[in-house]
Structure formats: C-alpha cells, structure tokens
Chains A and B, each alone.
Chain A
Amino acid sequence: MAPPEASSAAFPNRYASNALRHAFGDVLSYFILLLIGVLAFSIRIFSVIKYESVIHEFDPYFNYRVTKFLTKQGIYEFWNWFDDRTWYPLGRVIGGTVYPGLTLTAGTIWWLLNSLNIPLSVETVCVFTAPIFSALASWATYLLTKEVKGAGAGLTSAFLLAMVPSYISRSVAGSYDNEAVAIFALIFTFGLYIKTLNTGSLFYATLNALAYFYMVCSWGGYTFIINLIPMHVLLCVVTGRYSSRLYIAYAPLVVLGTLLAASVPVVGFNAVMTSEHFASFLVFIIIHVVAFVYYIKGILSPKMFKVAVTLVVSVGLAVCCAMIAVLIALVASSPTKGWSGRSLSLLDPTYASKYIPIIASVSEHQPPTWPSYFMDINVLAFLVPAGIIACFLPLSDASSFAVLYIATSAYFSGVMVRLMLVLAPAACITSGIALSEAFDVFTRSIKFQLPGVLSNAEVDVGETSSAVVEAQNVAGKTDKPEETSKDRPSRKKKKERVHEEKPSTKAKAEKKRLLALPLAASVISLLLLVFLGAFYVRHCVWAAAEVYSAPSVVLSYRSHGRLHIFDDFREAYAWLRHNTDVNDKVASWWDYGYQTTAMANRTVIVDNNTWNNTHIATVGTAMSSPERAAWEIFHSLDVKYVFVIFGGLIGYPSDDINKFLWMVRIGGGLFPHIKEADYLRDGSYRIDSKATPTMLNCLMYKLSYYRFVETDGKAFDKVRQTEIGKKYFKLTHFEEVFTTHHWMVRIYKLKPPKNRIRGKTKKSKPVQFSLFCSKNNSDVHLQVDFNLLMLWQKTSSRNSSRSGAQKKNPWH
C-alpha cells in the first residue's frame, strides 16, 4: 500500500504531492504490467504441468518441423526449401508458401539463447514461444487502450487480455501456431496506428509499418488490418475529422506496408493484385483527394472554392465512374471475383458450405454457437456494450477506432469460430474501458460522498479499494482531462500541460460532485464489479487448466478416480518411424499429414496445408471407394501404408468415420462417380445394419471395422452407439500391420500385386467363419466422454481454388 502512505506523507505540499503521486503511479503501473506479463505467461503453462512439454495438435507440428530445419540449415536454405516429403509426388515449396514470422521469431530466440550459452532445445523454445508472446500481447493491449482511454483502462484491458480464454486456446505452451505471435502483432500494429494518430509523429508511422510487416510475416489475418485501418480512415474523413495526423498515420502505412508486404514471399504480388488489398488503395486515393481539397480550401477564398468544387466534382465524378467501371469489369472477369474463397466466405457466410467443401469441412470454419461466446470471452460479452457507450463519451479518433474494431470483429467472429480470436482483443479493450470507467465513476462518487475532508477521502479510498483500482483511478484521472480536448498537440506538450492544469481539477471536481452517485449504490456496485472480475478470473483459470491445455496428441480421461492416458497417436507414429522404410509413402486423411511428416518422418500424400484440392479429393475418393478401386488409386500414388483413426472402441468422437462424409463430399466434388446419396440411408448417416451397401463396402468402413467384432463379440461402436452393420469380412488388397493399444490408429499395408493371375474355374469352397472369442479387456470397457476433447481445432492455412473441370478419376 505504497501510494496512500506516500500521498499522506506528502500532504502539506500539494504540488509536490501531485508529482509524487505521478511518479508512484507510473512505478505502480509498470509493476502491475510486469505482474500481468507473469500472469499471462504462467496461466498458459498448465499444459506443461498437467501433461508434458510437447507440441500440440496439427499445425504446430509443421511449424516445429520448419523451425528445426531453419535452425539447422539457416535462413537461405529455409527460404528455398523444397519439401519432397509432403504432397507426394507434387512436393511443396515451403519457403514460398509459409508465413515465416513465427518460425523466424522462434529461430531467433533459439539462436540468441544459444549464443548466450543457454542450451535450450528447439522444441523447448517452440513450446514457450506462445506464452512469451501473450505477455507481449497484453503489454501491447496496454499501449493501445492507454492511447484510447488512458492508463487505467489500459491496465484493465491488459489484465483482461492476459487471461481471456479465446486467446488462451491458441497460445497455451505447446500451441506453437501462427496466431500465437500474430495476435501480438495485430494489437501492436493497431496500438501504433492509434499512437501515430494521436501524436502525428512520422517516427511512430514508420514503426507502425514495421509492425504491420511483422504481422504480414506472421499470419494471413493481416488482411484484417489492411481493411480495418482504411475503414477507420474513411470513417474519420466522412465524419469530418480529417487532420494531418490522420494523413501521417495512414499514407506511410500504405506505401511502406505494401512494399514490405510484397517482399514476403508468400504474399508477393498479392499485396497489389488481390481484392483484399483494394480498399487500402482506394482510401489512399481518397485521402489524397481530401488532403488536396483541404489545401485548396486553405489558399482559396470561400467563393472561389465553391466554384472550384462544382468544377472538380462534375469532372471528377465522370472520371471516377469510368475508373470504377473498368475496375469492376476487371474484377468480374476472374471467376472468384478476385477474392479468395476464405475471404468470400467471410462476406457471405454460406459461400463455403455451398461451394467449397474443403473449407466447410474444417470445424473451426463453422459459425460459432452462443455458448462458445460465453466460453471464450465470458463476462466480456456483457461488458462490451458498456465499453462502446464509454467510447462515445466523448468520441475521439482513437475511441472511434475501438468501436469500429469491436463492430467488425464481432461480425467476423459470427462467421467463423476461428475469428473469435480477433474478437477477443477488441472485447478486452472495450471491456477494459467499461470497467475502468465504472471504477472511475464509483470511486469518485465514494470520494465525494464520504463525509470529512477531501484529503482523508483519498486515504479512505486507498484503503477500501484494492491497489489496482487505486492505480487505475490515479492514472485514469490524470489522463482524463486532456483526453476530452479534441485537438491534441504532441505528447511532450501534453505532459507539461497536465501539470499546469492540475490545480484546476479541484474546481472541476466541485462541479462533478453533482453527478456523483449515492454512497451505498457506489459501494455495492463496486463490490459487484469486483465479484464479476473474480468470476471472470475463476472461469479463465478453469478454462486454461481444464479445457484448452490438452495437447490432442495425448488424450486423457479421468474415470472412477483413475487417470487414463491415450497415447495412441505417438505410438502409431513411432511404429511407422521404426518399422517402415524411410522413403515409404503413407496415406491418411489430411488432418494427420503434418503429424506424420513431423513425428513419423514419412512422406505423406496430403497434409493440413490444403493447397491442392484435387489431391485431397483423390484421397477422399480412395477412402470412399471399394477396396479394389482404392487399392488402384493408392498404388498409382506409390502408397505403401494407409492409416485410419478409429474411435469406436473407446468412444473418441473425432475419428475418421465421423469425418467420412466430408471425404465423400470433397471426393465427389471432383470425381462425380462418388455420390453422397449412396452413403446415406434416407438422408441419415449410419453404419449399422441399415447402412447402404456402398457405405458398408467402402474402404473407410472396412479399414475402421476390420476385426472389430473380435473385441467384444458384438462389434458395438461406442461413438455411434450402435452395433456395426457388417461384422465379418476379409481384406483382399490390404493387410493390417499395426493397431495401437486402444485401437485409435489402425495402420494397413497395401498388398503387392498378385504374383500370378488365377484361372477362372470356380471352386465351391466351404465358407469358413472363425468363431471369435470375446476378450475381456479392461480398457475396452471404458465409456469415455470426450465432449471436452471435441474442442480441438484443425487449421488449414491456405485454401485451394476449386477446379472447374469435372473429370473422372485420372488414374483409370
């Protein structure tokens, strides 16, 4: 409780007391920021404590593999890396198709640590990159919100962001994915934009372009920035808020940012050629026109100006119309209207499900449900409206940006679950503003309502509310007055003015006394707010510890007080690594491609980078075909091993049978002999005795349920909660080579072509069915509820263009 003591000690000299309070406020807020950083880091290492220090999920394994390559081979080799172990036989140019930000960041950290003789493994660095960057992200939030509504709001927002579950889900230790660093870059870029907007400094504008560059390096979501900032600029121009600061904040960003973005290999000419970037150029032109108009207005007399306006507008309108017509014609001539499929599905939420099954098949590209809002941003959902109102009291350039940010991101999050991640910082910023304003109002009310001297009230406030609140209060109040003044000079001048204005705050306070709330109401509301905060903290810690920490390569389930660990994935990958030839090709559904290359070090046909729809459709077709046709497809791709994920024994719901309809849809999209209707009985998807013959004879069914009846004698599938339709069958072209402990991964080998071709004489051989004895295995009887584990995510970083030509299977 340093500040109250200090302020009471410094009481006699009011001016000195204010200066001291400032100093202590600054120190305190830095200390709090440090603690917030520690909090952000430590809340994310539940996964390491509960499980182990592993890379999570799917995409992180690819990033980890790339990072290993980078640290071993150096940056030039990485840039030119042609990977021949994925997308066989097409290969993939990794250097030119990957966002290198994350990899370079982790690689730099690793190199730095090693040159300081701290011998950490690449894996450790990768595991802890995300928590480190979430600490940085919360500091960036502080910077951003401080520019919008002062340090108090900044601290509150930083605190909220440090533990918002939505962001935790993507940045727990081990979740080594682009978003982990990209969210920091996003907030930091916005923060610097607001900073430039507030100060009009070219220095910050340059920094802003560099931050934007880092964002472009890190994540495809940079298009959000390059559309949101122009939108805000346009908003400012339309509402008559054009100023030279706005010009400085925007023009350098577009020029430098586009140049820098174009030098990232994966973006390249996209930075000037795709529709996602057009808005920024259009606004760039508009802001120049507006700047020019303001300049002309300055030198011409009002009358002359009017004449000039009518002249220019009539000519300009005609030119504009012609330009727009040309532009529209150009854009309309391309089949997707120049927009990539994923962007189109943002504008038209039904686009993907209608036309691109491969985008629609990814669970995180589905629209979210209402509970997921409560799960991911919790009480912030209720605080956001209050924050928006606070932003309008009064509306500044910066606060209008906050409003615009929350509005657009709320829309995008409604389209795709994944973009909840973009909403989270916006929600934290506005909620932080709301909370901070509320605390401000209540504590001020208490201060004025309390009987006694003003100076005593300050001590009381310090005692009743926590140190955090006090700091916010102090910081909030000091920055309050000049936030309201519209035209702001540079930051330095502001600081000076704060001190000059300080004595007059007392007079203002007297005025505000009339607006103060009753004492009891304030105290109760304060308590309720603290309670709300406590609820939020409790939810976040629970979410971090229980929901989002599972690495998804290792599954755990607690039943009857016993902890069951399902380590089948790594078991299967280890088997592949040790028992197959190094050049063997392994086929599976694309979800497991990254893991197979990273963990088993085997060549895969398709992986999570879904850039080639035809290739994925081929694998989908093979999985949906009968055994012989599937064998031919796989054989033509030189595949030696095929594996499927099967959850029917232990009740793991995200297995291949549940994803199978997507394989049929994606395969059928390119090879029309695969029809979804053939796999559905009266429109319902089933694998029991009423399933269609096509379903019961397709490769996926056979590979999943081969010998399944031997486990319990009835072949009861625990995920589908039914007995399977066809229990006894033999495989003719595939042979089972390995099945993991809980049957989650089943690996099959393609049989070689027959050495001889038999004659046609038919022989009546007695059909033999071996009687299977049912084995009582304790693990078999685990009824596992994986509902929480369903919250796993898959990511696919790029989408493929849908090929228009409908062809038959080219391998026939």
Chain B
Amino acid sequence: MEKFWVIFATSIFILLPFTCNSFSLETPTDRRVLVLLDDFAIKSSHSSYFNSLRSRGFDLDFKLADDPKVALQRYGQYLYDALILFCPSVERFGGSIDVAAIINFVDSGHDLIIAADVNASDLIREVATECGVDFDEDPSAMVIDHTGYAVSETEGDHTLIVSADFIKSDVILGSKKITAPVLFQGIGHSLNPVNSLVLKVLSASPSAYSANPKSKLSTPPLLTGSAIALVSVIQARNNARILISGSLSMFSNRFFRSGVQKSGSSTKHEKSGNEQFLTEISKWVFHERGHLKAVNVKHHKVGETDEPALYRINDELVYSVEIYEWSGESWEPYVADDVQVQFYMMSPYVLKTLSNDHKGLYSASFKVPDVYGVFQFKVEYQKLGYTSLSLAKQIPVRPYRHNEYERFMPTAYPYYGAAFSTMAGFFIFSFVHLYNK
C-alpha cells in the first residue's frame, strides 16, 4: 500500500510540470517556447530580450533553424506553446518543420514571433504572407527615412530609422507610456486594409520609403510613407497571436542599450524605447495581457433561478455571464461598459448593454419580443487587443399555449351579450310557440 502511494506521488510530481505548464484555457500564458536561430551568436547578441522572457517564467529552447532534429510536435502532441523565428535567412528548416507545419501550429492556437531582416528568405516571407503580411518584394530593399533617421557618429545611408508612431492601445503596449522612440533597421511590409485580423503596431514616418539603399532609385518605390508597417501583430480567429517585425536587430542588446536622437530633434534619449516596446508587446503575444474568458452563461426568468428549456413570448428574463481577464498569474474580473448581448434570430431583436458589478459578473434583464422562433443569446465582443469573445446559446421561444390567452376580454362583451340574448330569445320563442294555442 505504501509503495503504491509512493508511485502515485512520484508520478504526480513527474507529470505535474507537463500538466501545469502546457498551454490551456485555464492558464493561457505560454510556457514552453522554441527559438529557432540562424546561428547561436544571436543567442548572446540578443540575450537581453531572451533574459526578459526567461525572467517572466518562459522556458526557452534554442535550436538552429536547420537542425535536423528540430520538431514542433511528437506523437501528435505539440512540444511547445510558442515559436520564435529569429532566422531570417533560413532557406529550409531542418527536421519536420516547413511552412505548413508552422501554419498548423498557429491554427491550433499557438503563438509566433517572426523577425525578418534584409535579404529575408522566401520561406520567412511565405510564412508572413500566410499570416497576412506582405514584405517588400524587392529582396534587398530596406526602409529609408531621410528625415526621421537616428543620429549616429557616422552619417550612414539613413536605414537606421527612428519611429514613435505606436498603435494606441494599452492592452497591446501596456499602460505605461513608451517615451523614447524605437530604433529600427530592416525591411518594411504592407498590410491589406480589408484584413481585419492584422494590426499595424509600429509604422514608419510619412517621409519613409522602402528601396535598395545601395542602388539608385530608378522607379518610384512601391511602399512609401506611413503605409509602411515596421512591426505588426495578428490575432487569428482562434486567438493565436503573431508578431511580425521587419528587423531582427531591433531585438538586439545593442539597440536595447543605445541612446537615440532623432535627426532634427534636440532631445536625446539615454536609452531607446526598444526594450520597453518589445517586452510589452511580447507580453501581449504570449497572452499575459488582453486574454478574456467568459464563463457561467446563465439565463432565467425574472424571479426564478432555474434555466428553462424554452421561453414564452413576452417573458421577462435575466441573462448573465462572467467575464475575466488573464493577468499573467490569475484571472481578474474584467471591467468594461461596452459588452452587449443580442437576442438574435436572423437579426438582433434585442440589443442591450450588460451592466457589471466590477467583480466580473455582467447581466441584463429584458423582455422576450412578441415573436416566436429559435433565438440565440449572442455576445460578440471584439475589442482592439483583446481576444474575441463570441458566445451563442440557442433558446426556443414558443407562442402562448391555448389556455394562456386572456379569457374574458372587455371588448368581447357585446358578443357574449349577443350570444346569450339570442339563446334566451330562442328559449322564450320556443316556449311561446309550443304552449300558446
């Protein structure tokens, strides 16, 4: 008996890390991260970034991109929760990884960080295109900005640029304002404006353009101005998050530490905004922020507590749902005043804003419309930076039963009167007719 307990306890201790650390709905933050590199020098040259990840509890696994033993999954189970591709020049991944494998990795709900660079390989470009980001097709093009470049000792070709054009979202970039601009050196990309899933987090200044800095500009550049995205994020429909950056060097220790001064500006920042910007955005990508969950969807008639199988038209009902946000360690109540519920049958018949009690419980009370059919309680909550909530719960609404109508209506009294007076009249008539001789 004792032996059994020992085995049981040890097996729990062995299995515990696996059960706890894997990505799950309960703890959405990633734990195990695979980092694919072009060569191991990046590991040391970008160590600040990796250390910040490690210090937040991530388990980084460094591999060379063309390592033949590298694999994302084994026996149908994914080995990692997230993937960082710091390998812009790789032509072929080693092992079983290819574009389809990476896309499947994302489609099964895992996160991805891609850093491209000048002369990024077709492989990396293809992965980016699958995610909705189009890098400049010219392989040697870089983002050049002759007015917004970073001041440095040597007058370069103005490819090291400065940008402070961030997306305005506290969820993605954290509540603390990024004061220093970000240094960037790499390639730009464009986004399809109809693509609603991809967001431009850092865009170039209006004077920037994308071209080969070494050759003369013969034709007007295809990508110009603030249409150039430098860093973009994508939240897929299954809430997998992707970060795509056109520069690998912006993650490097050198960029993290160096001071920054924008050309034509007198203010010189001691430290560039790269570290804050990239750390905050990695928190978002790895679901430490902006991840919502909705639980305990309930509805019942006013004055009752049990959930009925169907409602009758004109019933009064209460709908409630609890919404929480993941803070990195625990689920905190989510507070917002723009969550709405629809009572929906082909179109919303009722659209009501839910009121919350600041403890995560959202509720609304409304009257079922005077229409029967199969309705749905729908909550479609899509807010910038947050994972999308889309709840639908089917509920039929029936008409009145035959004995639920009003029995004696005042408007019908003339008819009752007519019926009864006719009956009385007929009785009297028959009586007179039969006995009057």
Contact = CB atoms under 8 A, between A and B. Distances in A.
B351 interface: no
A89 B192 contact: no
Contacts of B339: none
A756 interface: yes
A760 B402 contact: no
B128 interface: yes
Contacts of B129: 758-759, 761, 763
Given A82-B399, A84-B396, A636-B346, A757 B373 contact: no
Contact of B374 (A88, A754, A761): A88
B323 interface: no
Interface in A612-667: 636-637
Interface residues of A, number: 26
A90 interface: yes
Contacts of A580: none
A763 B130 CA distance: 11
Contacts of B3: none
A80 B399 CA distance: 9
Contacts of A763: 126, 129
Contact of B133 (A76, A265, A755, A759): A759
A252 interface: no
Contacts of A760: 134, 192
B134 A755 contact: no
B85 interface: no
Given A753-B237, A761-B137, A91 B130 contact: no
B198 interface: yes
Contact of A82 (B134, B192, B372): B372
A757 B132 contact: yes
Interface in B97-149: 103, 106-107, 125-126, 128-134, 137
B389 interface: no
A637 B394 CA distance: 13
B192 A757 contact: yes
B374 A756 contact: no
Contacts of A89: 345-346, 373-376
A636 B392 CA distance: 13
Nearest to A265: B402
B228 interface: no
Nearest to A615: B346
A51 interface: no
B92 to A, nearest CB: 17
B398 A583 contact: no
B134 A90 contact: no
Nearest to B192: A760
Interface string B229-255: 000001011101000000000000000
Interface in A61-91: 76, 79-80, 82, 84, 88-91
Interface in A362-419: none
Tell me which of A88, A265, A583, A755 has the highest count of chain B C-beta atoms within 10 A of its own C-beta. A755
A90 B373 CA distance: 4
B171 interface: no
Interface string A783-812: 000000000000000000000000000100
A91 B396 contact: yes
Classify chain B's interface size.
35 or more
B310 interface: yes
A82 B398 contact: yes
A93 interface: yes
Contact of A756 (B131, B346, B375, B376): B131
B197 interface: yes
Contacts of A761: 125, 129, 134, 137
Given A89-B346, A636-B346, A759 B132 contact: yes
B265 interface: no
Contact of A758 (B130, B137, B372, B376): B130
Contacts of B375: 89
Contacts of B134: 759-761
A756 B310 contact: no
Interface string A77-112: 001101010001111010100000000000000000
Interface in A745-771: 753-761, 763
A212 to B, nearest CB: 23
A756 B104 CA distance: 11
B398 A757 contact: no
Contacts, number: 81
B195 interface: yes
B177 interface: no
Given A89-B374, A636-B346, A84 B131 contact: no
Given A89-B374, A761-B137, A756 B401 contact: no
Given A88-B374, A91-B372, A757 B195 contact: yes
A79 B106 CA distance: 52
A759 B128 contact: yes
B402 A756 contact: no
Nearest to B347: A810
A640 B53 CA distance: 42
Contacts of B394: 583
Interface string B191-234: 01001111000000000000000000000000000000000001
A639 to B, nearest CB: 13
Contact of A759 (B192, B237, B402): B192
A91 B197 contact: no
Tell me which of B125, B234, B372 has the highest count of chain A C-beta atoms within 10 A of its own C-beta. B372
A95 B400 CA distance: 12
A583 B394 CA distance: 9
Contact of B131 (A90, A95, A753, A759): A759
Interface in B331-354: 345-346
A755 B106 contact: yes
B46 to A, nearest CB: 27
B374 A84 contact: yes
A756 B133 contact: no
Contacts of A754: 237
A734 to B, nearest CB: 19
Contacts of A91: 372-374, 396, 398
Given A79-B402, A91-B396, A636-B346, A756 B234 contact: yes
Contact of B236 (A265, A583, A637, A755): A755
A44 to B, nearest CB: 36
Contacts of B130: 756, 758-759
A750 to B, nearest CB: 15
A80 B404 CA distance: 11
A79 B401 CA distance: 8
Given A754-B237, A758-B129, A760-B134, A80 B310 contact: no
Nearest to B398: A82
A527 B236 CA distance: 87
B433 to A, nearest CB: 15
B210 to A, nearest CB: 15
A756 B373 contact: no
A636 B347 CA distance: 10
A637 B237 CA distance: 20
Interface string B364-404: 00000000111110000000000000000010101101100
B373 A755 contact: no
Tell me which of B195, B346, B402 has the highest count of chain A C-beta atoms within 10 A of its own C-beta. B346
B236 A756 contact: yes
A82 B128 CA distance: 51
25 contacts: A80-B398, A80-B401, A80-B402, A82-B310, A82-B372, A82-B398, A84-B396, A89-B345, A89-B375, A91-B398, A93-B399, A755-B236, A755-B240, A756-B103, A756-B132, A756-B236, A756-B237, A757-B195, A757-B197, A758-B130, A759-B131, A760-B192, A761-B125, A761-B134, A763-B129
Given A91-B374, A756-B103, A761-B134, 4 more contacts: A755-B236, A756-B131, A756-B197, A761-B137
4 nearest A-B pairs in the assembled complex, by CB-CB distance: A82-B398, A84-B396, A759-B129, A89-B374
Interface of B: 103, 106-107, 125-126, 128-134, 137, 192, 195-198, 234, 236-238, 240, 310, 345-346, 372-376, 394, 396, 398-399, 401-402
